[in-house]
Amino acid sequence: MRNQKIIISRRSNLKGDDGYKTFSVRAKEDTVKQLDEIASKTNRYRNELINIFLEFAVANCEIAD
């Protein structure tokens, strides 16, 4: 699974989304910097990217016995 990648397309419009639960997450500074770089390149909010990445991780998660 290490070779799988998420392709993030550039977004034309930025607007808020409804129906999400808010919670806090602590992240390393380097991770936040990388998220901000991706957000800038794709014209997406950091929060939107985190949701994309979380949905991918949950859908591709395997629980070891």
Query: Which pLDDT does position 22 carry in this prediction?
Result: 82
Query: Which pLDDT does position 64 carry in this prediction?
Result: 86
Kindly give the residue spans of alpha helices, DSSP state H, lying in the chain.
29-42, 46-59
Predicted confidence (pLDDT) per residue in 4-61, tens digit = 888 878 766 555 556 677 889 999 999 999 999 999 999 999 999 999 999 999 999 8
∠ CA 8-10-14 to the nearest 5 degrees? 110
Decide: 48 and 17 in contact? Cβ < 8 Å.
yes
Domain boundaries, given as residue ranges, for the chain: 29-59
Query: Which pLDDT does position 18 carry in this prediction?
Result: 63
How far apart CA 58 and CA 5 sit, in angstroms, is: 14
pTM for the full predicted model:
0.71
Model confidence at 63, in pLDDT bands (50, 70, 90)? confident
- Using alpha carbons, list the distances in angstroms from residue 16 to 21, 41, 64, 65: 13, 18, 37, 40
